[in-house]
């Protein structure tokens, strides 16, 4: 067991040293992205104060809102989102991520919100997923971040194993559970590394495991196979249409039937918070509504409704409960990565453990550097200034790690 522990320790140290910088970058950007949805929506709508004209005021019909937006905007929207909150504006989405906010009671165009904030989050996302790479180099960058996620998963698992004391006493457990005062240098880094690693182990394992599933097709397929289901076929990425072609196609679609079907979608789920309509490309195409009763990142509170445009008949109704076990698990994992699956509390936990991941990298690399300098000093037969002698806690690093 001692030899096994030593092997796992050196694999842990090597993996952390090789992937540390990438893991640190993904952890920091993960913290910045923790509340992206809330911050973006607040920044977009903070200057738009909407109040119903009267207590019994009703919003304008969807067809009327869309007609007025088309009068003021040169491009045609690709989707429409309305929210149940009386003070919330209607959102008209365009290709390229641009949004237009509209007063639902008057049809007045309020503006585009905050392009700078959305641009900031797009840039942070680029660094989180592709290390800031553009174009064809993204494939190589994605391979690097995927490998770093896999290394991080191993670090979390092996780190918990190495943390576990070989001697089960209260004294040994307390050393790895709480921060200690009055220590510095190697002892401080060792204490921080162990304490942060222990308290973040379980949520960090979930966050990183979901990242591996997102990074690798084989890992995503494995989720289905473990649930006893065949993985879904991979979809080929369709080329993005030109802006002009998309706008012209959307403009040609008539507006009739939207109000009736939207009213039907409102009745489908009691207590809905937002309903999004993807505008069809053809006049006879069915209308697809996404009905959300959660925060936007909770798949278990989202459903899809497809209605026939002419008759309003339900062609397909897909609540989360209708998904197969594997599909539900895969959806949970997707939003477990950001913590959104558990709402605001989950996002906060994900942000904290992402920050903890950054500290784990920092203290881990510091410990590795101190170990290397100590080894170098011993080989040269000199004593380097600035490297304190190992105290009782640090002495245990070689033994327990």
Show the tokens assigned to 292: 């959300």
Alpha helices in 258-342, H assignment, sequence order: 258-268, 325-336
Query: What pLDDT is attached to residue 376?
Result: 84
What pTM, to 2 d.p., does this model score? 0.85
Render pLDDT for 232-245 as a digit per residue (tens, 0 to 9): 987 765 554 444 44
Q: Which residue has the tokens 């919100």?
A: 113
The mean pLDDT value for 250-277 works out to 85
What is the structure's pLDDT at 341? 95
pLDDT at 239: 52
Token code pair at residue 63: 């067809």
Higher pLDDT, 214 or 376: 214
| Arithmetic mean of pLDDT over the chain | 88
| Greater pLDDT, 111 or 377 | 111
Q: Is 222 exposed, middle or buried (0-12, 13-18, 19+ CB in 10 A)?
A: middle
Q: How far is residue 193's CA from residue 191's CA, in Å, rounded to a whole number?
A: 5
**What pLDDT is attached to residue 394?**
41
Strand residues in 309-380 grouped as ranges (E):
314-318
- What percentage of the chain has pLDDT greater than the value 90? 67
With a CB cutoff of 8 Å and minimum separation 6, the contacts of 330 are 213, 220, 223, 224
Q: Residue 250: pLDDT above 60?
A: no
Cβ within 8 Å of residue 290, ≥6 positions away: 275, 276, 278, 302, 303, 304, 305
pLDDT digits 0-9 by tens, 301-348: 999 999 998 888 999 999 999 999 999 999 999 999 999 999 999 999
Q: What is the pLDDT of residues 4-62, one digit of tens each?
A: 999 999 999 999 999 999 999 999 999 999 999 999 999 999 988 888 888 788 899 99
Q: What tokens appear for 262 in the block?
A: 């939207």
CB neighbour list of residue 64: distance below 8 Å, 6 or more residues apart = 107
The predicted model gives 125-154 an average pLDDT of: 96
Residue 209: other Cβ atoms inside 10 A? 19
Classify the phi-psi angles of 215: left when phi > 0, otherwise alpha if psi is within -120 to 50, otherwise beta: alpha
3-state SS assignment for residue 22: helix
Tell me the C-alpha distance between 90 and 183, whole Å.
Answer: 56
**Residue corresponding to tokens 């008949």:** 313
Residue with tokens 């237009």: 100
């Amino acid at each position: 067991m001692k030899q096994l522990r030593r092997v796992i320790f050196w694999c842990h140290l090597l993996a952390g040293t090789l992937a540390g910088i990438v893991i640190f970058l993904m952890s920091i950007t993960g913290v910045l992205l923790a509340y992206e949805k809330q911050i973006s929506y607040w920044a977009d709508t903070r200057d738009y104060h909407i109040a119903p004209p009267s207590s019994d005021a009703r919003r304008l019909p969807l067809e009327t809102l869309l007609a007025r937006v088309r009068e003021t905007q040169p491009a045609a929207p690709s989707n429409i989102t309305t929210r149940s909150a009386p003070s919330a504006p209607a959102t008209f989405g365009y290709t390229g991520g641009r949004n237009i906010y509209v007063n639902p009671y008057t049809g007045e165009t309020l503006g585009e919100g905050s392009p700078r904030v959305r641009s900031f989050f797009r840039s942070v996302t680029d660094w989180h997923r592709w290390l800031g790479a553009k174009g064809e180099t993204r494939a190589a960058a994605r391979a690097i971040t995927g490998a770093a996620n896999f290394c991080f998963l191993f670090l979390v698992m092996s780190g918990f194993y190495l943390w576990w004391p070989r001697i089960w006493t209260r004294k040994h457990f307390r050393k790895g559970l709480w921060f200690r005062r009055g220590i510095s240098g190697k002892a401080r880094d060792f204490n921080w590394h162990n304490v942060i690693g222990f308290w973040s182990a379980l949520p960090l394992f979930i966050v990183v495991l979901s990242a591996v599933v997102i990074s690798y097709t084989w890992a995503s397929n494995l989720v289905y196979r473990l649930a006893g289901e065949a993985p879904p076929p991979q979809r080929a990425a369709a080329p993005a249409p030109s802006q002009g072609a998309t706008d012209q196609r959307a403009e040609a679609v008539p507006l009739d039937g939207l109000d009736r079907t939207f009213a039907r979608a409102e009745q489908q789920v009691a207590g809905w918070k937002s309903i999004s309509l993807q505008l069809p490309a053809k006049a006879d195409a069915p209308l697809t509504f996404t009905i959300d009763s959660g925060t936007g990142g909770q798949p278990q509170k989202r459903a899809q409704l497809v209605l026939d445009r002419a008759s309003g008949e339900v062609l397909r109704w897909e609540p989360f409960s209708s998904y197969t076990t594997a599909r539900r698990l895969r959806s949970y994992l997707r939003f477990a990565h950001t913590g959104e699956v558990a709402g605001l509390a989950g996002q906060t936990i994900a942000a904290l453990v992402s920050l903890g991941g950054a500290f784990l990298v920092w203290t881990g690399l510091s410990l590795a550097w101190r170990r290397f300098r100590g080894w170098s000093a011993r080989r040269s037969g000199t004593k380097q200034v600035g490297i304190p002698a190992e105290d009782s806690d640090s002495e245990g690093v070689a033994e327990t790690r």
